[in-house]
Amino acid sequence: MKAKLLAAIILVTIRFSWADIAVMASYGVGMDDELIQSGSTSGSNVTGIGVRYPWLFDQTLPHLGHFDVSIDAEWHRMSSEFQQQSEDLTMWAIKPTLQWYWQDDKSHVTELGVGIGRISERQYQEITTSSNYQFAIHLGYGWRFGENRQWQTMFRYNHYSNGYLARPNPGIDFLSLALYYQF
C-alpha cells in the first residue's frame, strides 16, 4: 500500500516536462509597517532568484479563466545600511502557487503563493522574529508576453511571518518586480 501511494505521489508531482520549467529574477524594496509588518525595512533593497515547476492543476473553467498550480523555490537577499552598519537577510521559500489567467489569451495573471520559508537571521533592522522558520506568502499581478508567452513580469507583495505560532511575530514585508522566463 505504501509503495502504491508513493508511486502515485511521484506520478502526480512529475507531470511536467523540463520544457515547462521557468526561472525568475527579481528586484524589490522593503516596506514600512503600512500592511502586516510591524517595524520598517523601507531602506532595504531586495534581490532574488527562483525556479517554478508546474505541479498539479492545469484547468480552464467556464467564465472563470485558466488555473495552474506550480511549486516555486525562491531565494531573496534583503540588504541595507542600518545605524551606520551594513545588514543582510537571506530568505528561502518553497511554496505552492496558484496562478489565475483571467483572459482567454492568458496574457494577464494573478497569483497567490503560500508555503514555508526560512530567514537567515532573527534580527534585521528594527524587526526581531521569534524563529528562523516562517510562513512565506506572496500575492502578485502580472503580464505574459513574447511569441509563445514565454516571458512574464509580476508585481508582488511578499510577506514572511510565523503566523503567530510564537511571539514576537512582526513579519517581514517587501514589494518586488519579478521577471520569469519559461523554457
Q: SS3 sequence, 109-129?
A: EEEEEEEEEEECCCEECCEEC
pLDDT computed for residue 112 by the predictor? 98
Residue 182 has pLDDT above 80, yes or no: yes
Average pLDDT over residues 131-150: 94
Tally of domains within the chain: 1
Q: What confidence tens digit (pLDDT) does each residue in 31-55 have?
A: 887 777 777 888 899 999 999 998 8
**3-class SS at 54?**
strand
Residue 16 has pLDDT above 70, yes or no: no
Average pLDDT over residues 108-118: 96
Residue 59 has pLDDT above 80, yes or no: yes
176 vs 63, residue with greater confidence: 176
Residue 4 has pLDDT above 60, yes or no: yes
Angle, CA of 69, 35 and 121, to the nearest 5° = 75
Structural domain of 26: 2-182
Angle, CA of 141, 116 and 15, to the nearest 5° = 70
The DSSP output letter for 20 is G
CA–CA distance, 52 with 123 (Å, rounded to integer):
29
CATH classification at residue 105: 2.40.160.20
Q: What pLDDT band is residue 5 in, cutting at 50, 70 and 90?
A: low
Beta carbons of 18 and 183 less than 8 angstroms apart: yes
61 vs 141, residue with greater confidence: 141
Given the DSSP bridges, would you call strands 45-61 and 133-145 parallel, antiparallel or unpaired?
unpaired
Range of weakest confidence among 40-44, 113-117, 152-156: 40-44
pLDDT computed for residue 7 by the predictor? 60
Q: What pLDDT band is residue 104 in, cutting at 50, 70 and 90?
A: confident
The reported pTM is 0.84
Please give the share of the chain, as a percent, with pLDDT higher than 70: 89
Residue 15 has pLDDT above 80, yes or no: no
7 vs 23, residue with greater confidence: 23
